[in-house]
Amino acid sequence: MSFHIRCGKIRAGGADIFYREAGREDAPVIVLFHGFPTASYMFSDLMPILAEKYHVIAPDYPGFGESEMVPRDKFAYTFDHLASVMDDFLTRMHVKKFAMYIFDYGAPIGMRIACKHPDRITAIISQNGNVYEEGLGEKWKARAAYRAHPTEELRESFKSAFRAPAVTAQYMGGEAEGSVLPDHYTLDLYYMSREGEDEIQSDLIYDYRTNVAFYPTFQKYLRTYQPPLLAIWGKNDVSFIPAGAKAFQKDLPNAVIRLLDAGHFALETHSREIGNKILQFLAKENI
C-alpha cells in the first residue's frame, strides 16, 4: 500500500479548506490539528508513519497555510469559529469517528469539537497541546495582562510573534544545535508575511483568553468520558511546559504521559519516535 500524501480542498464553514490525507479510506481515522504559526505541512513526516494503519487527515484552518484567508470583515477569527469550521469540515469529509492529534492551537480547537461530539472521539494524542493552567509557561503572564487590558499598543507589540526571531526561536528552543532544518519555519514566515495575516493572527492572540476560560469545560469532558489519551510532549517547551502534560492524570488516571528531550515543535526532531508511540498506544487501545 502506498503511504503517499494526497491533498485537496473542500468548502466548509464559509471557507475553502485545504487538507492533506494519507492511508486507506476504509481505515480508522486520525485527524491532525496543527498549531501556530504553522499548518498541515508540519505533519509531513508523521503522516506516512500513521498511514501504515490509519486514514490520516490534516486540514489547514482558515487564514493558515493553503486554506482561504477570508477577509476579517466577513469572517470572525476566533477559536470558537475555527472549531465550528473544522466541525463542518469533518462532516463534509464524512468523518464520523476519529482519534485526534492536538498540538498548540489545535488543542482548544479539537477539544471544542470533542465537547460537542463526545461520541465521535476514539482517542486523543496531545503533543504540547495544553488544557490546564499548570501548563502555561511564563510568557503567558504578559499575554494575560494584555487580554485583561487590551490596547492598540500592546496589540502591535505582540505582532513580533509572527516575525523571524520569535518563529525560529519556537522551533529551535530546547533542541540540539543544528538538529532543526529550516524548511518548516521558513514556510511559516512566508505565510505569516502575507498581507493581512498579521491582523488575523492578532485577533487569535487576543481571543486565546477564551481558551483558558474553557479549560474547566475541557477538563469536565475528560473526567466524564474518559477518552484514551497519550500526552507526548517536548519537555523543553517554554510555551506549554511539562506540568500541562502531567496534569491530564488529574482527570484521566490512565492517561499515558511521555516526555521527550525536545522543544515545542517536537515533530521536527522526533517524528519517528512520536509516530511509533502513537501506533503502539492506539494498538493497545484496540483503535
Q: Tell me, what amino acid is at 277?
A: K
Indicate the angle between helix axes 139-148 and 197-225, nearest 10 degrees: 100
Confirm if 107 and 231 have CB atoms less than 8 A apart.
no
DSSP string, 58-97: EEPPTTSTTS----TTTS--SHHHHHHHHHHHHHHTT--S
Q: What is the CA radius of gyration of the chain?
A: 18
Nine-digit cell at 184? 518548516
Based on the number of CB atoms within 10 Å of its own CB, is 72 exposed (0-12), middle (13-18) or buried (19 or more)?
A: middle
β-pair type (15-22, 55-59): antiparallel
Let me know if 264 is a catalytic residue: yes
ω before 228 within 30° of 0 (cis)? no
Distance of CA 137 to the CA centre of its chain: 17
Alpha helices in the chain (DSSP H): 46-50, 79-92, 106-116, 139-148, 152-157, 164-172, 183-192, 197-225, 242-246, 248-251, 267-284
Give the strands of the sheet with 6-12, arranged side by side.
6-12, 15-22, 55-59, 29-33, 98-102, 121-126, 229-234, 256-260
Q: Which member of 34, 184, 264, 270 is catalytic? A: 264
Q: Which residues contact 250 (CB under 8 A, 6 or more apart)?
A: 132, 219
Q: Which residues are catalytic?
A: 264
